[in-house]
Amino acid sequence: MTKHIVVLGAGYSGLLAAKLAAGHAGATVTLVNARDRFVERVRLHQFAAGQELGDRRLTDLLDGTGVSLVVDEVTGIDADAKTVRLANRPEPVPYDTLVYALGSQADLDTVPGVREHAVAVAGLEQAATLRERAHGTVAVVGGGLTGIEAATELAETCPDLKVRLVTGGVLGGAFSERGRKHVRRVFERLNIDVRDEVRVAEVRADGVVLADGEHLSADTVVWTTGFRVSPLARAAGFDVDEHGRMVVDDTLRSVSHPDVYGVGDAAAAHMSNGQELRMACATGIPCAVYAVRAIGDRMAGKQARPLKFRYFNQCVSLGRRDGLIQFVRADDSPTEKLLTGRMAAL
């Protein structure tokens, strides 16, 4: 009997899952996405800094795959009826198997004033707002990969801006000592002021206020710390963790709903040692491959093969002319091996 696989979200993991699932004999695949374009989230800091991104129409990317595309917003999932509700269609979409890949967005509610006064780079519209609004002194809050990429890109591409990075941890804390030194050197070269190991307590129209009361003035505040996921998994009654990410087993299948799989930022997947995978395309893409393989195994009446995942490297761009590839152990901890400069940027 033909199975209808419905994939929600055409980001890195959902788009790949839909294309791979269409290769299963006996499957029809529908991909639902809020917009008709693929958004290259990993390049949104470049877009925010004024560079152009490729225009990637989903119909072109799906051409010849047999996947049916529905451009609409998912507003709910009825897990008992096995249907998906959409904003602009009266009839819900039925599924036999659901792949939940709705990604993540910036969390703008962790600190007072962020939603009112800061801009983010986690979504296309937010990055477009930053592109329009960035002027004078720009304070990038968050010293993770997104914050480092945003700060260096803005400083290099927009020399009129004065960029500062404000972070609770140590700049490049996830990297080895050599990696951290390289990032520091690039920040110095690009004249980016760093305030690390401080906590932002409030964002105001004229800058940020630190936990000790110090005011750092800024004309534009860029919020890169913290991501949140869609509330739809929780609302549907799927088991979720405290952040709302779908809890999945080692075959990426929902632990509460056997016809549902979760991949990418929207799901909390784990390595065989129990370590949770971080939100990244580097993890979402392999999870999509394994989830679809597990679906295929089960359709064929076989035992589903579990996720096998290990980390190899962390890649961070430091503007267009420099980058850092930090080689890591299987558990993502940094080794002393790295690649920097133009080669890494490429």
For residues 179, 183, 185 and 191, what is the CA-based torsion angle, rounded to 10 degrees?
180
Q: Which of 236/299 has CB closer to ligand FAD?
A: 236
In angstroms, give the least distance from the CB of 1 to ligand FAD. 28
Q: Residue 264 CB, nearest distance to ligand FAD (Å)?
A: 2
Tokens 């490297």 appear where?
A: 313
Q: Nearest approach, Cβ of 288 to ligand FAD (angstroms)?
A: 8
Scanning the chain, the segments in alpha helix (DSSP H) are: 12-21, 44-48, 58-61, 114-117, 124-133, 145-157, 177-189, 232-236, 281-299, 341-345
For residues 316 and 183, what is the distance between their CA atoms, to the nearest angstrom? 10
Q: How far is the CB of 214 from ligand FAD (least distance, A)?
A: 28
Question: What is the b/e burial string over 86-110, where b = at least 16 CB atoms within 10 angstroms of the residue's CB?
Answer: beeeeebbebbbbbbbbbbbbbbee
Q: Which residues, including other chains, have CB under 8 Å from residue 300's CB and lie 6 or more apart?
A: none
Residue 126 or 176: which CB sits closer to ligand FAD? 126
Q: Cβ closer to ligand FAD: 107 or 265?
A: 265
**CB 69, min distance to ligand FAD, A:** 11
The number of C-alpha atoms within 13 Å of 240 and in the hemisphere containing its C-beta is 20
SS3 of 67, please?
coil
- Give min distance, CB of 97 to ligand FAD, in A: 18
Nearer to ligand FAD, 208 or 324 (CB): 324
Query: In angstroms, what is the minimal distance from the CB of 276 to ligand FAD?
Result: 14
Which of residues 209 and 225 has its CB atom nearest to ligand FAD in the complex? Answer: 225
The residues of the shown chain that bind ligand FAD, judged by CB under 6 A, are 9-14, 32-35, 39, 41-42, 44-45, 73-74, 101-104, 121-122, 145-146, 149, 230, 264-266, 279-282, 284, 315
HSE-CB at 228 with a 13 A cutoff on CA atoms is: 10
Of 26 and 231, CB closest to ligand FAD: 231
Tokens of 92: 């819900």
Closest CB to ligand FAD among 288 and 299?
A: 288
CA distance 240 to 254: 9
Question: What is the smallest separation between the CB atom of 317 and ligand FAD, expressed in angstroms?
Answer: 7
* Exposure string for 58-81, b = 16+ CB within 10 A, e = fewer: beebbeebebbbbbbebeebebee
191: left (phi over 0), alpha (psi -120 to 50) or beta: left
Q: Residue with the closest Cβ to ligand FAD? A: 11
Q: Are 100 and 18 in contact (CB under 8 A)?
A: no
Closer to ligand FAD at the Cβ: 194 or 279?
Answer: 279
